[in-house]
Amino acid sequence: MKLDDLKVSCSSCSLSELCLPRGLSSAELNELDNSIEHKYKCERDAHLFRSGDPLRAIYAVRSGSFKATVLTGEGAEQVVGFYLPGELLGLDGFAEQQHTCNVIALESASVCELPYPDFESLCGQFAGLRKQLMHLVGREISSGNRMLLALGQLNAEERLATFLMSMSKRFAERGFSPTEFNLSMPRHDLANYLGIAVETISRLFARLQKNGLLEVNRRNIRIVDAQRLSQLAHERCVPVTGISP
């Protein structure tokens, strides 16, 4: 669904410090604003794009959340990422000018659309935009590598802890509580993403709750003992506390 009436403005967007506009001059920002003409809204389970679709635009999540999946030849699905407001969708399409994964809304969500030709030309003009693009591209690559590390080196419990700490951090970056949040994905997608069976996820949540690290109520998560959770996740640094100075 196209919502032309809902004009988007990067200059006044609360996500600009996470998204493409970060660090842009006001001149650059204006040009970017001129190119982002559309805002798309997706209902739950709707595809933003599919593997094989031509790369027509890149998208920034504005509200809601998405999952990205790839399929085996037999149609088995693998979730390869979750995307929150301010994060970019479609970078995988740079390889062959067509998407290689499916992006699906986990809940009602909306995105800002930046047509690829505009994007390409803006990147030629503005060093600041290039820099921020490279920043976000590097994050995509690095986070993929961290996921490979988790799948290869961590057991099921450690993977779940790592995931929760990472979500906590991402929620905090967006101004939400790092200690209590609602996951937007069903157990099924979470399990698939972490390479664990749904039943195991349930058992792990139960165990972490019994041991006093979490309080879990369906998709609502409250981190009770961030320190121990962080240890489980094999992190070195002190976890977020949720207490503001």
Biggest alpha carbon–alpha carbon distance for the chain: 56
DSSP category for residue 236: -
Q: Structure tokens of 7? A: 């004009």
**Positive or negative torsion for Cα 159, 163, 168, 173:** positive
Side chain identity at 36, as an amino acid letter? Answer: I
Q: Structure tokens of 122? A: 């803006």
Q: Is 234 in the site for DNA (CB under 7 A)?
A: no
Asked if 104 and 43 count as a contact pair (C-beta separation under 8 A), the reply is no
Given the rule CB under 7 A, which of 61-69, 83-91, 181-189, 223-231 is the region that contacts DNA?
181-189
Chosen residue from 45, 74, 243, 244 binding its own copies by CB under 8 A: 74
Q: Is 147 in the site for its own copies (CB under 8 A)?
A: yes
In whole angstroms, the minimum distance from the beta carbon of 78 to its own copies comes to 4
DSSP category for residue 225: -
Binding mask 174-193 for its own copies (x = CB under 8 A): ------------------x-
Q: Is 236 in the site for its own copies (CB under 8 A)?
A: yes
Chosen residue from 33, 140, 157, 235 binding DNA by CB under 7 A: 157
Q: Look up tokens 């669904």; give the residue.
A: 1
In whole angstroms, the minimum distance from the beta carbon of 26 to DNA comes to 42
Chosen residue from 46, 156, 172, 224 binding DNA by CB under 7 A: 156
In whole angstroms, the minimum distance from the beta carbon of 84 to DNA comes to 18
Q: How many whole angstroms separate alpha carbon 148 and alpha carbon 135?
A: 20
Q: How many whole angstroms separate alpha carbon 173 and alpha carbon 53?
A: 32
Pairing mode of beta strands 220-223, 47-49: unpaired
Footprint of its own copies on this chain (CB under 8 A)? 68, 70, 72-74, 76, 78-80, 91-96, 100-101, 120, 123-124, 127, 130-131, 134-135, 137-142, 144-149, 151-154, 192, 195, 234-237
Footprint of DNA on this chain (CB under 7 A)? 155-157, 186-188, 195-203, 205-206, 216, 218-219
